[in-house]
Structure 1
Amino acid sequence: MLALGSASLVQVPVTASHWGTFCLLAILAIVQAEATRRIEHQRRSLSITPHVNVTSVWLFPGAFFLPPHLAALLVIVIYGHLGYRSWSGIRHVTPHRTVANATTMIMSSFAAGYTEHLIGHNGTTTYSICAAGLAFFLMNTLVTGVGLYLATPEEATAKSCLGSWDDNILELSTLCFGGLLVATLPHQPMLMVLIFLPLYVLQRSTLVKQLEELATTDQKTQLLNAVTWQNAAIREVSRVEREGGSFGALMIDLDFFKRINDNYGHLAGDDVLKAVAALVKSETRQHDLAGRFGGEEFVALLASSTKDEAIAIAERIRKLVSELVINTRNNEGEPVVIENQTASIGVAEFPRDGSTLDEVMASADAAVYAAKRSGRNRVVGSPALDAVMAG
């Protein structure tokens, strides 16, 4: 990166047109950042995956029309302003993270500029814009992902390093805006101000989506929270009553979970909850409802499932929970491996075990209690309660 920038500084002269483009992009980027500063602070505070800002909108045209060293300077100016605003705001971003983000963007700009140089000899074309945008995106994703993985390899996941589908679509959207600016800049540069309103709407709609997810999702496990789960389950009851059929309900309770918090600390306990939640999510279908009921209890509504099908799924979950190996740390920061965790699972079916959601969940809860009484680490279906309790 330094070699390319140094070579560009020596070999590529900077013209007045270059400086004009540089100043226009820098001013527009700073004005846009100031206009949406509160939105970005809120978005960053709510992000659980790599935060995607909209600087690519301005950096992508810079990669096209500026020499590499001037494109790098544009990144430094824009991220210098963002860093300053971060430190003068409520939520701070550490300087090393700002530097790392700026470095990533410089490398992405170089990748886009080099791609355009290779295939854009006949002027700016749709093909060169798309190819350069893809190069920008891939370099940004690769460097960000590798950096986040190396920071915490023991906790790294594909989503935490590479972002969600929504994150990547947002980044591609900003590059699409940047591509439109590439097409506009040589002919009508002042039309670039028209991008402000669409950008504002994009950022605001992204914030609204994050707030909706926050209101409906348990932030510790990323499953539905209790209120959202219950509301969705009530709708499923209404659907089944109207159309006929049935659904299964699981109540999953981790055995002796308090011992983990007592022995290793609540952060280790949180890692166990996250691991079990991910397992429950992976073992249920997309149209099922998986939620955190509270504490160490999880619930799952298995749409269009019979009692036998629900018991089979519950048994699979129980077995997989017992096989989990969770690498975490105790309160002193020492590595800890938690394994042999077990769960007791109660199963009920609507309408067989109750005519309302409350009745069905009461049956599943009673089945959990029966599983605890009979030795834990087992699945109990509500019709077998009397036999289990008698044994």
Structure 2
Amino acid sequence: MGRYDNFDLHLYNVDNRSDTIIATDIQDAKFTLDGKHLVYCKMPQDYVDNGNTNNKKFTIVDLKTMNESKTYAEADYGDNIDFTGLWAIKDNGDILIFNGMPGTGYYAHAVYLIRNDKLQVLLNFDSDSYGIVTNKELNDMFVIKNNNIYYYDIDNMKNVELGEDYRISIPILSKRRNFLYNIDSLDKMVFASEDGVYLWNKAELKLEKVLSMDWHSGEIIVIDYSDSDMLIAFDKSKICRVENLSNKPLITTLFSTSEGIIEDIMYDISAYQPTDDNIWFTVEENEDYIFYAIDKNGNILHKVSGELIDDLDIGSIGYIPSASQYTLMAYNYNDEGHLYSVDSDVREVKLIENRAIKHTYCDNSLWTVYMVTDGMVCMYNGEKVINIDMPELD
């Protein structure tokens, strides 16, 4: 919560263009995680005038019926209780409140459970934020805090500390988020450790090793195809696919190098390309850089060597759906970036932009957009470079 200025809470219905006042003189409001309820905060006026954030009361509104179901006051549950986090209301009536996440309470770093009007603190950290992964039903939860991972069975109030030697593997489409609550099931959650890849065994509340790999003073990267019972794992010398995770894992080595080092692994190329289509990586071998792309079956789709592109360090890669073409930015010894197009069979690796490139944007763009060092903004549409003259600022 920020400033505690009084305001009125309206609900606007787009279908019938109606405007309903839900509450007046409130200080904060937010939707619950399922989007079916609204929670607003209200405090006595003397508290607001004095800037006192204690004695906050939170009221739940059912957005379907517009009825207020219940009000929860922090003071009723003890001292130093903060309900300003993200709220989730389960089908069984349980209420979960997640504090310490971005945009929530600044001082409370805890997860609360209100069950039958009684408050239980599921976890409480002294400082700093944490990461959480839950399933859609919000009855299973992994918590990541300072390299330690904890598992919570919320329905049965069980928890186990898994240790600090593991790193949870977030599914591809959600890997940049530190609070995930839309995963169908955590039964096959994948973990990476210094010596390999582990699978979560919920029945026995433990981790089971499915693949041995070597950390190599770097890291093991796991691509978790959570909907296909398969994962792909990288270390510095090999790439492996593990299938049939839920039964008897089948391991296939897709790529290996005895003399080189696998670097610059990129697998989330573009919003317009299937995420499991290509996996891109660089192999440094005898001071030469070879740029590969393989599919999840191990077929090598692209192979671009430093001799072809005459540059050394891979900066970024983009995908142009209209041309079924990839763009590749690579740096030379002088830290100058240049742009290349990469054909599907790599018989066509063409220099697109010889001017030194300053920035490239291609993650969520239909075309590759970039800026050269003189400030000119340019686009490449799969056929030609288009220079864009930006208007001068007043």
Query: Which TM-score bucket, shorter chain as reference?
Result: under 0.3
Structure 2-normalised TM-score?
0.24
Higher strand proportion: 2
- With a CA cutoff of 8 Å and minimum separation of 6, indicate the structure with the bigger relative contact order: 1
